[in-house]
Amino acid sequence: MNSRTLVVIIVLVVIGVFASYSFGLFKAKDTVSQIPNPSASPTVQNDGWRDQAVANIGLKLRIPPNMTYREELADDYGKIRTMAFYIDSSDQSKPPYELYALFQADKESSDQDLERSKTEMDTSTIKDSSIDGFKGIEGLIIGTKTRYITIIQKDGRLFSVSTIPPTEENKKITEEILATFDFQ
């Protein structure tokens, strides 16, 4: 191999590595990962509901039968930015259901942030709400991502739970799940 070919190969490798970092293929500091729940396998209750722990935010809850659970953690060098989890219906014979919860660990919130959340909601649906004693609001967000949402402040951070699609049946399922939330 001549030296000109070697130089071309080296230049291409350098460009490839630079492009990979530029486009986020090797991004170390800003990661989002789907992680299995670190707790032991969930305990199944007599009613078919399973106990589930969300260790990163100190939450225990129960999940109905025929539903799946998964988590997503976004962090910067091990410091949690957001912690999200999903509960989906795995029964294809029933209408679709998804609960999406998001804890914004890296942003302090105030009552003003909670009030600001109302701007996206249909004003006729807004009401006071709480999850495990933490006060907040709930309402229907209308638009491209229409959903029921409940937002609380937990430890000075916003925590939201959305229901998609926003049917009355799905809202009832979410309310049953929210009733099992136990923040540690």
pLDDT tens digits along 118-143: 999 999 999 999 999 999 999 999 98
Most distant CA pair in the chain, distance: 75
Q: Quick check: 82 and 74 in contact, CB under 8 A?
A: yes
Q: What is the pLDDT of residue 41?
A: 47
With cut-offs at 50, 70 and 90, classify the pLDDT of residue 30.
very low
| Mean pLDDT (whole number) for 134-153 | 94
CA distances from 171 to 54, 59, 149 (A): 22, 21, 9
Q: Is the dihedral of CA 25, 108, 160, 60 positive or negative?
A: positive
Rounded distance between C-alpha atoms, residue 178 and residue 174, angstroms? 6
Q: Residue with structure tokens 């998804």?
A: 98
Residue 33 confidence (pLDDT) above 70: no
Q: Quick check: 62 and 45 in contact, CB under 8 A?
A: yes
The single-letter code of the amino acid at 45 is: Q
pLDDT tens digits along 63-113: 999 899 999 989 888 788 899 999 999 788 888 999 999 999 888 888 899
Architecture of domain 29-183: 3-Layer(aba) Sandwich (3.40)
Rounded distance between C-alpha atoms, residue 149 and residue 161, angstroms? 6
pTM (global) more than 0.85: no
| Mean pLDDT (whole number) for 32-57 | 66
Rounded distance between C-alpha atoms, residue 35 and residue 33, angstroms? 6
Average of per-residue pLDDT values in the chain: 83
Rounded distance between C-alpha atoms, residue 122 and residue 130, angstroms? 19
Q: Which residue has the higher pLDDT, 62 or 23?
A: 62
